[in-house]
Amino acid sequence: MKILFDSEEELLTELKIIKPETLTDFFSDRVNEAVVCPICKSKKISIPFGLGDYEPNQATRSRFLLPVRRYPAFYSDGFHIKDYYFRAICSNCAYEINFSVAVIVEWLRENQGSAGNE
């Protein structure tokens, strides 16, 4: 996956390969334990995701993580993955934790085919 895109639409389309399960695999590999809220210590963390288009021949719709753009952006030439992050939200106290899209994409490159690429 490239890191600089001409449009946000192009970037977001490319990032649809990153599923909620990909983030779970990333945490298992890098942290080796459940993500815990740094404020209230709850393990009830939710990750916002979007649903793909309905396809009549599929039993379920695809799911993908919803990236958020950081403002102000660090990079002004086009749309760079380092300007995006994924959110995880504590279901107990509503604290938000942000995870860099660039780090997760790099991890995916290192683990080609083993996480998030069904």
Is 23 within the bounds of a domain? yes
pLDDT digits (tens, 9 = 90+) for 57-68: 666 667 888 899
23-31 LR contacts (CB < 8 Å, sep 24+): 23/47, 23/65, 23/86, 23/88, 23/99, 23/104, 25/111, 25/114, 25/115, 25/116, 26/99, 26/104, 26/107, 26/115, 29/107, 29/111, 29/115, 30/107
**Is 118 inside any structural domain?**
no
Residue 11 forms part of a structural domain: yes
Q: Which of 39, 62, 56 is nearest to 118 (CA)?
A: 62
Global pTM reads 0.78
What range defines the domain where residue 95 resides? 4-110
Q: Give the tens place of pLDDT for each residue, 8-38.
A: 999 998 898 888 888 889 988 998 888 899 9
- For the chain, the domain total comes to 1
Question: When comparing pLDDT for 73 and 32, which is higher?
Answer: 32
Other CB atoms within a 10 A radius of the CB of residue 27 amount to: 16
Residue 116 forms part of a structural domain: no
74 vs 4, more confident: 4
Please report whether residue 63 resides in a domain. yes
Q: Is the pLDDT of residue 116 over 60?
A: no
Mean pLDDT of the chain, nearest integer: 85
Identify whether 117 is part of a domain: no
In a domain, 101, yes or no: yes
Instruction: Judge whether 18 lies within some domain.
Output: yes
pLDDT (0 to 100) of residue 84: 94
